[in-house]
Amino acid sequence: MLRPQDQQAAESWDALRERQPWWLQLCLAIIGVGLDWRCAFEWFAGKSPSYSELVLGRTGLIVLACAGVALLAVFVVRGARLRHALIVFCTASFLVYEILHVHWLSRRG
């Protein structure tokens, strides 16, 4: 039988282990936004400069769509926490990129 202090230490260790480090959250956010920017840039097939208002606006729309899907998934799934939203956001951004990447390859070829 665990003493109350040992049980409390075990619970705090589990809580610490479940948290994602800040740098992992930052990396997931950067990767997701980078993939969304690539989708917006390729959408115009290089006709617009990479940081034009048109590309950045489309990037913002893709980011909002992926973030909305991530938040909806986190709120619908039982047991999911808000920290899981970045993982779902990065996954949604990757899926959008993969779908559009196949489309771009088929049009160029």
pTM listed for this prediction:
0.77
Task: Please give the structure tokens belonging to residue 85.
Answer: 């939203």
CA 10 to chain centre: 31
**Mind giving me the DSSP string for 33-67?**
HHHHHHHHHHHTTTSS-TT-HHHHHHHHHHHHHHH
Q: Which amino acid is at 92?
A: A
d(CA 62, CA 35): 10
pLDDT tens, position by position, 8-65: 655 565 565 567 788 988 999 999 999 999 988 888 776 778 788 888 899 999 999 9
Find where tokens 């992992």 sit: 24
Closest to 51 (Cα-Cα) out of 70, 71, 37: 37
